[in-house]
Structure 1
Amino acid sequence: MTTKEDRLRFLAEMGDVKRIKRPNKADVVVPRELTPGHLERQRAAIALPLKDTNPLTADMVEPLTAQDILSWKRPGVQNGVFRKLRLGYYPSEAKLDLHGMTVDEARRQVFGFVNDCMRYDLRTATIMHGKGERNRDGIAWLKSYLAKWLPELEPVLAFHTTQKHHGSTGAIYVMIRKSDREKQNNREAHDRRD
């Protein structure tokens, strides 16, 4: 709590302080003249379309329904490891929710999400795509595209529809491969010679 003495002491200290008098106007800088080189770079930037580095295609897919189960693994993934993924034994280290997204938005999100999982050495993730039960045609479009996209992504080792308590046929578990950095850490940890 401030006392009367504290306030008087403060006012005494601030006695010689003066208000800065500045006009209430923004400093407007006249833009510099554009050179022909600058204009040419501007035209070139507008003319060149942005390169899409996302390999996921939005072509036709096999239509899936709300109750279809997704299940896929790369050759070399051990059956026991895939079984644990399928049963939800691995804790999900990251989640992506695609509800309400368009196919193109989902395409960008899935690509970025899988790359982020690799970058941060996250091995298991959950993607919630929804069941698509409200679609008039009865097709679960995001689920259908996910089933096509995930095998196209090299870091994805396996995926499977989640257990009932994690979303059932409206979500999938995804297993991401180890990054080269993580593989090296494992080698160093297990190759120690005592």
Structure 2
Amino acid sequence: MSMTKVNSKAALVLAVSFFITGQVSAKSDFEYGPVFSSFGKHAPVEGVSFAKDETFKVAFDVAKAAKTGEVNRKFESLARFINMHVANGVKQDNLSLALVVHGSATEEMLKSEFFKKRKEQSNGNEVLLTALMKQGVEVIVCGQSAAAHGVEQGALIEGVKMDLSAMTAHARLAKRGYSVNPF
């Protein structure tokens, strides 16, 4: 039997077992909330629980821009992280998240008025990034990427911080106990 057939059969068995046991929610079970009502859809997962005092300190790294005018799914991951953990009993005050942005995603840190001059469209990420920061998310842009893309500090969305580099931002966050989300 070829490896392709074995892998296909294994995938089918796994899919059927998830369907039968109900361990994975159907796509229609994804919902917004409880913190963000327009971002961060998530699904319930049976059998997962958290200690009453569970805490998370997580840094997310984003280097790739979304299509012009669209919300960057990597940015929305932070809203999903917050929504799904709060929905499952983690106190929102116990979530400390940071977003480190560099590379082509740097321009998505621009206020819409500056973004529009470059891309002829509004920045589809400004509302999300502002909402994240209102919920305590630290948003940091790489100074080296900003220089490479001609992004000046005064053109950044209100609340976005700039560090010397993305590497520097991650090193500083690591000193403060943040892990890096690998996704």
Measured against the shorter chain, the TM-score band is 0.3 to 0.5
TM-score (norm 2): 0.33
Name whichever structure is richer in helix by fraction.
2
TM-score (norm 1): 0.31
- From the CA coordinates, give the structure whose radius of gyration is larger: 1
